[in-house]
């Protein structure tokens, strides 16, 4: 049971131990009459020249995968070369980088909640950065208990669900085209290098797919606020590409009307999303911080992505034609990855 007023009597020692359960901060130091309202995350980030490069760079890797999904979402395959190209793109991502990319993107979305951002900064200011960060390290769920933490997490969950639907729609389109492909002679021509293709695909995952220029520009765009505000909506990635070049900057508002619950098996993943958001809000995103690194490399997400890639390699290695190759791609490089992303929210 969450103790809504617990933080009022929280001591510095208990925060250092990572004991968390508060939703409000009511101290004379952070909330004195006449004090100016704390700046929103958006305005603070603007003064710091936008979100941290470490987090946005990682998020661009995830955006690159989503861009690869877009290439198969409504375009029928017309040649062997096209199937091979898309297979290398979708199947060539590094699972570790994809994990940190997805977690970073989720954190950026969660960090846009003004109430949560203000609460994080108030507590960090009152207790000091190191004690606040120690609270995040000791208790991964601490950030979700802060004022606005649940709303921030809801935004991240909505984004995950929207992304899962987007990926699923791509898999459904690919499956709908299979009846047509079966009638094409070129797709049924026999190949004898399935095992070699699988080995090559696996080697590509060691370094992973290069970040696309579109994804890089997206997160370097002055319209990043508008992009993140669209995260919980359907076809968000289609909108993102347009916003990055066309739309004016808008307020950071990432809201969702539906309320999501967290899959109990993925509670740690959800907690890591909120923790990363807190790190980002106070500008403490740093690979030398063990809590930050652990959250970026969420174990359950990484395991899921890695298993999908293993299944893809095994599938590719047994195929004797391009029809089979595209079926492997649809199931394991698209559908399975979508399930990994969507599994965190219920």
pLDDT tens digit sequence for 320-346:
999 999 999 999 999 999 999 999 999
Q: How far apart are the first and last CA of the chain?
A: 20
pLDDT in tens, 160-190: 999 999 999 999 999 999 999 999 999 999 9
The range of the structural domain enclosing residue 294 comes to: 58-342
The model's confidence at residue 241, banded by pLDDT at 50, 70 and 90, is: low
The verdict on residue 75 lying in a domain is yes
pLDDT at 50: 53
pLDDT at 233: 67
**Mean of the pLDDT values across residues 221-232?**
75
**Mean of the pLDDT values across residues 47-53?**
60
- How many distinct structural domains can be found in the chain? 1
pLDDT at 231: 78
The verdict on residue 41 lying in a domain is no
What percent of the chain is predicted at pLDDT more than 70? 78
The verdict on residue 10 lying in a domain is no
Whole-prediction pTM: 0.82
The length of the chain is 346
The verdict on residue 14 lying in a domain is no
* Tokens representing residue 14 in the block: 């208990």
pLDDT at 244: 54
The verdict on residue 31 lying in a domain is no
**Mean of the pLDDT values across residues 253-262?**
70
* CB-CB contact of 92 with 210 (8 Å): no
- Helices in the chain by DSSP H: which ranges? 12-16, 41-47, 53-73, 80-91, 95-110, 114-127, 129-138, 149-176, 178-181, 194-207, 213-220, 224-229, 236-243, 267-281, 290-296, 299-317, 322-328, 336-342
Inter-helix orientation angle 53-73/95-110, to 10° = 110
The verdict on residue 264 lying in a domain is yes
pLDDT in tens, 202-213: 999 999 999 999
pLDDT in tens, 25-36: 333 333 332 333
The verdict on residue 22 lying in a domain is no
What is the overall mean pLDDT for the chain? 83
pLDDT at 228: 83
The verdict on residue 48 lying in a domain is no
């Amino acid at each position: 049971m969450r103790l809504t007023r617990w933080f009022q009597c929280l001591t510095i020692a208990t925060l250092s131990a990572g004991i968390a359960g508060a939703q409000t901060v009511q101290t004379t130091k952070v909330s004195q009459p006449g004090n100016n309202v704390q700046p929103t995350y958006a305005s603070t980030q603007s003064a710091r020249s936008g979100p941290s490069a470490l987090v946005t760079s990682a998020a661009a890797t995830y955006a690159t995968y989503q861009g690869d999904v877009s290439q198969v979402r409504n375009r029928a395959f017309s040649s062997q070369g096209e199937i091979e190209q898309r297979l290398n793109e979708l199947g060539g991502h590094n699972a570790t980088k994809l994990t940190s990319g997805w977690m970073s993107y989720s954190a950026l979305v969660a960090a846009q909640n003004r109430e949560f951002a203000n609460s994080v900064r108030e507590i960090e200011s009152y207790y000091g950065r190191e004690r606040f960060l120690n609270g995040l390290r000791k208790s991964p769920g601490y950030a979700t208990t802060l004022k606005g933490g649940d709303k921030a997490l809801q935004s991240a969950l909505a984004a995950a669900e929207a992304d899962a639907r987007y990926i699923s729609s791509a898999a459904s389109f690919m499956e709908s085209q299979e009846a047509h492909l079966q009638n094409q002679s070129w797709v049924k021509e026999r190949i004898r290098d399935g095992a070699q293709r699988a080995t090559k695909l696996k080697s590509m995952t060691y370094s992973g797919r290069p970040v696309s220029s579109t994804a890089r520009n997206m997160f370097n765009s002055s319209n990043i606020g508008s992009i993140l505000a669209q995260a919980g909506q359907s076809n968000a990635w289609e909108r993102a590409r347009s916003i990055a070049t066309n739309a004016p900057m808008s307020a950071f508002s990432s809201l969702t009307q539906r309320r999501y619950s967290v899959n109990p098996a993925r509670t740690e993943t959800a907690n890591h999303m909120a923790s990363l958001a807190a790190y980002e809000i106070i500008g403490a995103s740093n690979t030398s911080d063990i809590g930050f690194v652990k959250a970026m490399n969420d174990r359950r997400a990484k395991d899921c992505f890695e298993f999908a890639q293993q299944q893809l390699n095994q599938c590719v290695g047994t195929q004797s034609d391009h029809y089979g190759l595209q079926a492997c791609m649809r199931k394991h490089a698209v559908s399975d990855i979508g399930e990994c992303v969507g599994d965190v929210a219920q």
